[in-house]
């Protein structure tokens, strides 16, 4: 493990004004997105869409890194591998390495993330293909008796093993424990669960001797459930989110790259701005973003699978990226 390289990469991924584009949708997920615009997903159309995003002029001013899917990291743009193309623009290529979530036996409604089998070998391959960081996502549902202790422990354990294997391969691990927005829970309940989850995650990371200075955290914002009758304001979300992370996220972590988690592009942008307006104070982490749909949704609709719409879609994509970059750059007041 080259800790200096890991630290340098992690710091570059949360460089001022920049954040991460999550373009790692699985084949199943991207088909769902394409269904909304009447486009069939296959390797060629998937690449055409992602190429539209990656070749947007000026995007490197807002985007520090891109999370790729297994299919995409093996593809090329104008005869150049996708990772090398991104590197040529000053964008760091990364890779999603988990294999999705499945039901936990004996715990209906709760999920565990698969993909540890053969992960060491896959990480070596991805490193050779040009990846410099990786991502592993686990999810927690808030509900009656959920998340259970078993769910929290199983997923924290997988995150720690994954992170240790990443650092062994000199890849920066993005640790993504997502407390889902689904449900009618209020802001306080989301905070309770987020604290509970992150405490165990960091206990496991330390147990497995993961160098936290060479990691990034990709968490949910502390936010009301989608079906909650009381929806918190951006300022309320920001205050509770910062209070939560001050309680549980170690100072050694260089950056927090929030997921958008089902928020609209405007909500994700507004909430990120409010969080940065409060700022991390003495904690010292960078407060950035790792958005998928919140960055892509408007551009996807504009593109609609048509080559004649590429320039317009790129303009829409760049405009949203600039808005999110500006939100990430708000100074504490």
The confidence score (pLDDT) of residue 280 equals: 76
**102 token code pair:** 């499945």
DSSP letter (8 states) at residue 143: B
Burial of 322 (0-12, 13-18, 19+ CB in 10 A): middle
Q: What is the pLDDT of residue 279?
A: 85
Per-residue pLDDT at 281: 63
Q: Which CATH architecture has domain 3-328?
A: Alpha-Beta Barrel (3.20)
Which of 110, 176, 178, 297 is flagged as catalytic? 176
Catalytic: which of 111, 218, 270, 297? Answer: 218
Asked whether the whole model's pTM tops 0.95, one would answer: yes
Q: Please say if 60 is a catalytic residue.
A: no
H/E element, 235: helix 234-248
Per this entry, what is the length of the chain? 333
Query: What pLDDT, on a 0 to 100 scale, did the predictor assign at position 213?
Result: 97
pLDDT score, position 63: 98
218 is catalytic: yes
**Domain ranges, ordered by start, for the chain:** 3-328
Q: How far apart are CA 146 and CA 196, in angstroms?
A: 12
- State the pLDDT at residue 87: 98
Cα–Cα distances (Å) from 268 to 68, 100, 234, 240, in that order, read 21, 24, 9, 16
Per-residue confidence (pLDDT) for residue 286, from 0 to 100: 95
**Which of 160, 225, 234, 236 shows the shortest CA–CA distance to 193?**
225
List strand residue ranges (DSSP E) for 159-213, in order: 172-179
What confidence score (pLDDT) does residue 332 get? 87
Q: Given this model, what pLDDT does residue 191 score? A: 97
List of the chain residues with pLDDT < 50: none
């Amino acid at each position: 493990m080259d800790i200096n390289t890991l630290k340098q990469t992690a710091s570059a991924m949360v460089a001022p004004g920049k954040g991460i584009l999550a373009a790692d949708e699985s084949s199943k997920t991207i088909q769902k997105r394409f269904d909304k615009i009447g486009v069939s997903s296959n390797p060629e159309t998937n690449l055409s869409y992602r190429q539209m995003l990656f070749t947007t002029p000026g995007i490197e001013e807002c985007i520090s890194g891109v999370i790729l899917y297994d299919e995409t990291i093996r593809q090329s743009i104008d005869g150049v591998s996708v990772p090398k193309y991104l590197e040529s623009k000053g964008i760091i290529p990364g890779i999603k390495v988990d294999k999705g979530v499945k039901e936990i036996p004996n715990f209906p409604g709760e999920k565990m993330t698969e993909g540890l089998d053969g992960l060491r070998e896959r990480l070596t391959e991805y490193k050779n293909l040009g990846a410099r960081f990786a991502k592993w996502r686990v999810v927690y549902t808030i509900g009656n008796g959920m998340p259970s202790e078993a769910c929290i422990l199983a997923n924290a354990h997988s995150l720690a093993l994954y992170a240790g294997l990443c650092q062994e391969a000199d890849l920066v691990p993005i640790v993504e424990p997502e407390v889902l927005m689904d449900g009618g829970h209020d802001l306080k309940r989301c905070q309770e669960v987020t604290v509970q989850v992150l405490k165990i995650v960091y206990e496991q990371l330390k147990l497995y001797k993961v160098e936290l200075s060479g990691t990034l955290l990709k968490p949910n914002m502390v936010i009301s459930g989608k079906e909650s009758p009381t929806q918190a304001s951006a300022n309320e979300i920001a205050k509770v989110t910062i209070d939560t992370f001050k309680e549980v996220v170690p100072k050694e972590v260089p950056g927090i790259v929030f997921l958008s988690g089902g928020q609209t592009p405007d909500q994700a942008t507004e909430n990120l701005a409010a969080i940065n307006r409060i700022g991390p104070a003495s904690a010292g982490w960078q407060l950035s973003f790792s958005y998928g749909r919140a960055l892509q949704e408007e551009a996807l609709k504009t593109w609609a699978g048509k080559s004649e719409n590429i320039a317009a879609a790129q303009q829409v994509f760049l405009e949203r990226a600039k808005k999110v970059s500006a939100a990430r750059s708000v100074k504490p007041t």
